[in-house]
Amino acid sequence: MDELTKVVRDYVVREYLEEGDDREITETTPLISGGIVDSFSMVSLRRFLEKKYSIHIPDEAATPQAFDTVQSIVALVRKFQMAAPTSA
Amino acid sequence: MSNPPAYQELIANFDWAIAERELGYATGGPINIGAMCSDRLCSQGLADKPALLWEDYQGNEKRFTYDDIRVLSNTIAHFLCGLGIHPGERVCLFLDRVPELYIGFLGILKMGAVAQPLFSAFGEESLSVRLCDAGTSAIITQKKHLYKVRKIRNKLPSLRHIIVVDADGSPAQQGEVSFQMDQVPRIQQFPVYPTTAESPSVLHYTSGTTGQPKGAQHVHYSIIAQYLTAKWALDLRPDDIYWCNADPGWVTGTSYGIIGPWSNGITQVVLDSGFIAERWYEFIEKYRVTVWYSAPTAIRLLMKEGVEVVRKHDLSGLRHLASVGEPLNPEAVIWSQEVFNKPFHDTFWQTETGCIVIANLPGMTIKPGSMGKPFPGITATVLDPKTCEPINQPGVAGLVALRPGWPSQVRTYWNNEAGFKAKFKNGWYLCGDRASIDADGYFWFMGRDDDVINTGGHLVGPFEIESALLGHPAVAESAAVAKPDPVNMEVVKAYVTLKPGFKPSDDLELEIMNNIRRRLSPLAMPQEIEFTDFLPKTRSGKIVRRILRCKEFNEPVGDLSTIMEE
C-alpha cells in the first residue's frame, strides 16, 4: 500500500468508523453506499484532503461515487495533484 | 386504471370517517397500528402478499410477506414482554435500515409500548439527550452501534435492556441481550395490547430554536390520517411497488415508510445503502418501483449526476413521484418531467403534523415550486405575524397555520407541555414556517420563522449545536445558523469566538467540525466555521443569530436597536 492510500485509509478508519466497529477497511470497501461516510461527512473528508495535499476539489468532482472507496478517493487526489500548479 | 379524483371532488363532504370505515375502526374501540399494519391485512387475504422487499448495499436480499411481518412482529412483541417491558414504556429503535427496524416498530406497538425511532448516525450526545428525556427502558440496536450505547449507559438509569439484533455470541455486558429475529422460535399468535385512539404510539424527537430537542408524542389514532394521506396524496394502489427513501429515524420514515404503505397493504421496497445515483436507479429498475417518495436533496443530487445515468436504466415502471423534506425547487419539478416523464409532487408536513397536510395531489395541476393545497380535512392558512389572524390577500407572506384536530396531530411534547402549548396561537397550530397563498389557493413556501436549520430535509436545532461547540476546549462562544446550499437547501454554519491561547486555523476548523460530527451527527456538523472576535448580542447579552443568518442569506437585518454596540 502506497503512502497516499495509507493516509486516506487511516484517516477514514480514525474519523469515520465508529469506535468498536471492527470492520476492516480495504481499498475497495464501499464507504458511501456502505454507510460509513455520508454526503454530510464527505465535507470534512474533502476538507482534510484539500488541506493535506494542497489541492482544490471542485464541487462537480466531489461526488458520492468519487468518495465511495479509498481507491477512488486516492484517484481523485492524484487527479487534482496533477492539475495543481507546481510551486516555484 | 382510473384517474385520480379532482381536488374539489375530494374535499366535498370529506370526513376522516372515510378512513375509519376502510380500516374497520369503530369509535371508542381498540386501535393498534402494529395490528392494523399486519394482522388486519392477513385476515383480509393478503397473508402471502409481499410486504417488504429488502436489499442492502452488497446486494443481499430478504423478502417478507404480510404473514411474515405479522408473525415476526408477534415474536418481537413477545420477546419484549418476556423482558418485563410494560405498555407505555419507551423502546428505542437505533438501527440502520434493516428489517428488524421496520418489523420491530410494529412489534413494539403491538405490545403497547411506545416506539422511539432514532437515526442511527446520531452520535453519543444526541442519543443520550433523547434517551434521557424519554426515560427509555430498552434500546434495540446493532453491534456496530453498541459502543455508543455503552458509552452513555451510566447516564441513563431508566435504560434496563440493550437488545442486539446481530450479536453472534452471548451478551457481553450486563443488561445486554441478543435477539436474532430469524433464529428465535416464531410466535404465531400474540394477544395484541388493546390500545385505543389516544394511546401513545410513537415518540419522534424534533429540534426547535431553543432548548434541547422535543419529543413529539403521537397516538395510535394517527393511522387514520397516515393511511388516507398515503392512499390519496401518494396515490398508493394495491399493485404498487413503493419506495420511500426516508430513514425511519425521522418521521417520514415511519408515517410513510411503515404505517402508510403497510396500512394500505402495499408492497414496499427498502434499500439499506448510502446515496449512489447509479445504485438507486438500478434498484428502481430491478424492483419495478411504481411510486417513489423522495426528498429534494436526493433529487438535486440525482440532477447533479446528469441524465446519462438515467438513460442506462428502464425506469418505465414509475407511475407517481412525490417529495418531502424542504421546498422542491421548480427546476427539480421540470427536470423530473423531462427525465422521468412525470413531475415530482411536492408535499408539506412535519414531525408534529404526523401526516401530509399540504400537497400537490395526484390529478391536481402542479405549479412548480408550490407546496400545493391543503389535504382534504385540513384547514390551513397563513396568519399575520402580529395579529395571528388569517391573511386573506393573495401573495402576502404569513405564518403557516393549521386548525387543530386532524387525527395525526402531535398530542404533546414529552415532558414539555409548556413548549407544546406555545405552538398554538389564536386557535391555530403554528408550523414555524412562512408562506403565502396565491389566488388559486396554492401555498408557496418562503422560509422558516425561527432559527431552526433545515438541512437535507431534517431540522437541526442551533441550541444543540452551540452546546456541543462549547464543549470543545477552544470555543468560548458560538452561534449556529443556516447557510444557503444548492443541494441541501441549508447547511449548518458556525460562528465561533476562541478562548485565549487558541488561534484560528484550518486544522482547528476541521477538528471542531469532526468533533461535532462524532458527538451529534453528520447533519449537525458545521460545514463551515467562521472564527470571529465577537458575536452580535442584545444589551442583555443574548447572541442574535438573526443577524448572522441574514448575513448568510444576503438579507436586510431589520431593527438593530436592541443590539449591543461593540
B272 contacts in chain A (CB < 8 Å): 35
Q: What is the pLDDT of residue B372?
A: 96
Cα B155 to Cα B173: distance, rounded to the nearest angstrom: 16
**Nearest CB partner across the interface for B279, out of A19, A33, A35:** A33
Cβ pair B273:A23 closer than 8 A: no
CA angle, residues B310, B313, B318, in degrees to nearest 5? 85
A34 contacts in chain B (CB < 8 Å): 57, 273-274
Q: How many CB atoms lie within 10 A of CB B178?
A: 17
Cβ pair B275:A32 closer than 8 A: yes
Per-residue confidence band for A87, with pLDDT thresholds at 50, 70 and 90: very low
Encode chain B (566 residues) as per-residue pLDDT tens digits. 455 677 888 888 899 999 999 999 999 999 999 999 999 999 999 999 999 999 999 999 999 999 999 999 999 999 999 999 999 999 999 999 999 999 999 999 999 999 999 999 999 999 999 999 999 999 999 999 999 999 999 999 999 999 999 987 765 788 999 999 999 999 999 999 999 999 999 999 998 777 789 999 999 999 999 999 999 999 999 999 999 999 999 999 999 999 999 999 999 999 999 999 999 999 999 999 999 999 999 999 999 888 999 999 999 999 999 999 888 999 999 999 999 999 999 999 999 999 999 999 998 999 999 999 999 999 999 999 999 999 999 999 999 999 999 999 999 999 999 999 999 999 999 999 999 999 999 999 988 888 899 998 888 989 999 999 999 999 999 999 999 998 899 999 999 999 999 999 999 999 999 999 999 999 999 999 999 999 998 887 788 898 999 999 998 877 666 665 44
Q: Are B371 and B358 in contact (CB under 8 A)?
A: yes
Q: Which amino acid is at B93?
A: L
How many angstroms away from the CA of A81 is the closest CA of chain B?
19
Cβ pair B507:A51 closer than 8 A: yes
pTM: 0.93
Cβ pair A68:B510 closer than 8 A: no
Beta bridge partners of B114: B90
Q: What is the pLDDT of residue A88?
A: 38
Cβ pair B523:A48 closer than 8 A: no
Cβ pair A41:B517 closer than 8 A: yes
Chain A interface residues facing chain B, Cβ-Cβ under 8 Å? Answer: 15, 18-21, 23, 30, 32-35, 37-41, 43-44, 47-48, 51, 60, 63-65, 68
* DSSP assigned state of B337: H
Q: Which residue of B has its CA nearest to A29?
A: B58
Q: Which residue of B has its CA nearest to A12?
A: B514
Q: Which residue of B has its CA nearest to A51?
A: B506
**Nearest CB partner across the interface for A43, out of B275, B506, B527:** B527
Q: What is the pLDDT of residue B566?
A: 46
How many angstroms away from the CA of B494 is the closest CA of chain A?
14
Cβ pair B513:A19 closer than 8 A: no
Can you say how many angstroms the Cα of residue B342 is from the centroid of all Cα atoms in its chain? 25
A30 contacts in chain B (CB < 8 Å): 57-58, 274
Cα B328 to Cα B322: distance, rounded to the nearest angstrom: 10
Cβ pair B510:A15 closer than 8 A: no
**Nearest CB partner across the interface for B274, out of A18, A21, A32:** A32
C-alpha cell at position B355:
401526516
How many angstroms away from the CA of B490 is the closest CA of chain A?
12
Cα B334 to Cα B207: distance, rounded to the nearest angstrom: 32
Cβ pair A30:B506 closer than 8 A: no
Q: Which amino acid is at B104?
A: G
Q: Given its phi and psi angles, is residue B88 left (phi above 0), alpha (psi -120 to 50 degrees) or beta?
A: left
- B458-460 and B453-455 beta bridge pairing: antiparallel
B249 contacts in chain A (CB < 8 Å): none
- B200-206 and B424-425 beta bridge pairing: unpaired
Question: Exposure of A24 by Cβ count < 10 A (0-12 exposed, 13-18 middle, 19+ buried)?
Answer: exposed
**Nearest CB partner across the interface for A44, out of B57, B488, B514:** B514
Q: What is the pLDDT of residue A39?
A: 87
Cα B176 to Cα B153: distance, rounded to the nearest angstrom: 11
E strands within B153-287?
Answer: 161-164, 176-178, 200-206, 214-219, 241-244, 267-272
Q: Which residue of A has its CA nearest to B279?
A: A33
List, in order, residues 6 or more apart from B357 with CB less than 8 Å away: B348, B349, B374, B375, B378, B380, B402, B406
A38 contacts in chain B (CB < 8 Å): 121, 274-275, 522
Q: Does A30 have pLDDT greater than 80?
A: yes
Q: What is the pLDDT of residue B541?
A: 79
Q: Which residue of B has its CA nearest to A30?
A: B57
Q: Which amino acid is at B389?
A: E
Cβ pair A18:B276 closer than 8 A: no
B148 contacts in chain A (CB < 8 Å): 18-19
Cα B37 to Cα B102: distance, rounded to the nearest angstrom: 11
Q: Which amino acid is at B5?
A: P
HSE (side-chain half, CA atoms, 13 Å) at B24: 13
A40 contacts in chain B (CB < 8 Å): 455-456, 488, 491, 517, 522-523, 525, 527
pLDDT digits (tens, 9 = 90+) for A7-25: 999 999 999 988 777 789 9
